[in-house]
A and B are shown apart, each in its own frame.
Chain A
Amino acid sequence: MITLNNYEEYLIDYLHGELSAEYVDEMEIFLKENPTIQEEFLILKETILIPDESIVFIDKKSMLKPVQVSFFQATKKYVAVAALIAGIVLSIFLWNENKSTNSIELVHTNIQPNDTKDSTANDTIAQVDTISTAPIMIQKNTTPVMAVKHSVIPKTNTAPAIQPTLHTAKKETFIAQVPTEKLMPVEIESTVKYDSEATTTLIAKSNEVNIEHPIQETTQTEPLASANTPQHTIVLNTQKQPRLFKAIAQLAKFSRNVKNKKNELAHTDFVVMLGNRKLINVNQN
């Protein structure tokens, strides 16, 4: 119990905010009942010091430590931006890749007249199976998109660039292992699709370059061989896909050795052009 004989210790605790809760109410009542103690308490309150804010430690910088940020933390913002830009660029590139296939053209300028009648899907298999040169392992899938015949163009001196005779599509697929320059086998799968009179599409894929692109012909190509020699001219109008060109060139090498079902050379000469530049010219013996 707080009395006039012991109040001072309680009063100081009360001043310091350290008086236990059970005595706070008692102290407040005690102060109300004792005005002189109340006055003493007010004087004690005046002894509480107020910090002098004008006293400051000026040179704090001398004690600060440089914060070491890891390379990742320092650059993560830039990495994120770079990744975003790279993503956009990649998307544009891939979009252009799809578009650029239109610039690669496969032109049949001449096809052997004998093929005109019997160039069916089964014929094509027979041709592939009778490869005569080069260590070529061949699988052949011929998937007619529609049940129609392979387009065969009668020999003509005027040699229009493309004259598919059929108005429907056909898809041929070659899978072959062809020796590369380093004698490494390269598997090439090509698909020639004749969609209409005006359009030829080649899909070439190799296990080395993993390519599968439609190739549409559009350009006019002059015959590069005599009228008696069937000729396939692959004209590449872009330099964006050199590996694809390589695959096509391999395909051309392979195809020149294809014989027809009568075990005769198909007499297909391939010329692969890159713009006006001749990349490969495979002449049939």
Chain B
Amino acid sequence: MNQLEYNTCVQLYADHLYRFVFKNIKQEEQSKDIVQNTFVILWQKRYDVEMDKAKSFLFTISYRRMIDEIRKYKKIKLVDQLPDAVMGHTEITQTDLKKILHDALDTLPDIQKQLVLLKDYEGYNYEELATITGLNTGQVKINLYRARMSLKKILVSVESHI
């Protein structure tokens, strides 16, 4: 990868990385740090990373940095209940649904949340998710399955409250 390709990666993937990290840890500055740190590593290893592998490389590095950050600060708190603001609404708009879903996402275990974000935001397949997260494909599948079931359960619960 040359300098031009590296810069292209910044333009193409910085938002994606930041979005993924920020959705996980909810900390703006830490998310920025992780993204910047990820690109520093890409720059250092640019001669070893082919352009077509760059995105996976970036997400893999970001994911690992993010896990370190989560372990360090334990900022993520499990939410067992939906936010009160959502409850009692008689009409759920698309915006509300989006918020409910993202709030529901925060109730998931970290690994499930991360896999859902990577799957839905970036469209990675099971094998790619396994590469990024260091899990095997079976673990990826089961975690995604559990995540979907949990999210479905929350959505059904919200609808039942209306």
Contacts and interface: CB of A to CB of B under 8 A. Distances in A.
Nearest to B97: A46
B155 A57 contact: no
A12 B142 CA distance: 10
A257 to B, nearest CB: 72
A157 B35 CA distance: 102
Contacts of A183: none
Contacts of A47: 101, 116, 148, 151-152, 155
The list of the 9 closest CB pairs from A to B, nearest first, reads A47-B151, A57-B18, A49-B120, A57-B14, A55-B19, A56-B15, A63-B39, A12-B145, A51-B121
Is the interface on chain A under 10, 10 to 19, 20 to 34, or 35 or more residues?
Answer: 20 to 34
Is the interface on chain B under 10, 10 to 19, 20 to 34, or 35 or more residues?
Answer: 35 or more
B18 A56 contact: yes
Given A55-B19, A65-B6, A49 B102 contact: yes
Given A43-B156, A47-B151, A64-B10, A57 B15 contact: yes
Nearest to B46: A65
Main SS of chain B's interface residues? Answer: helix
Contacts of A59: 32
Contacts of B141: 9, 12-13
Contacts of A67: 3-4, 7
A197 interface: no
B27 interface: no
Contact of B144 (A16, A55, A56): A16
B125 A40 contact: no
B143 to A, nearest CB: 11
A49 B117 contact: yes
B11 interface: yes
Interface in A37-75: 40, 43-44, 46-52, 55-57, 59-60, 62-68
A9 B145 contact: yes
Given A43-B152, A55-B22, 16 more contacts: A13-B141, A16-B144, A46-B97, A46-B101, A47-B148, A47-B151, A47-B152, A48-B120, A51-B19, A51-B120, A52-B23, A55-B15, A63-B14, A65-B3, A66-B3, A68-B3
A229 B12 CA distance: 92
B56 interface: no
B25 interface: no
Contacts of A85: none
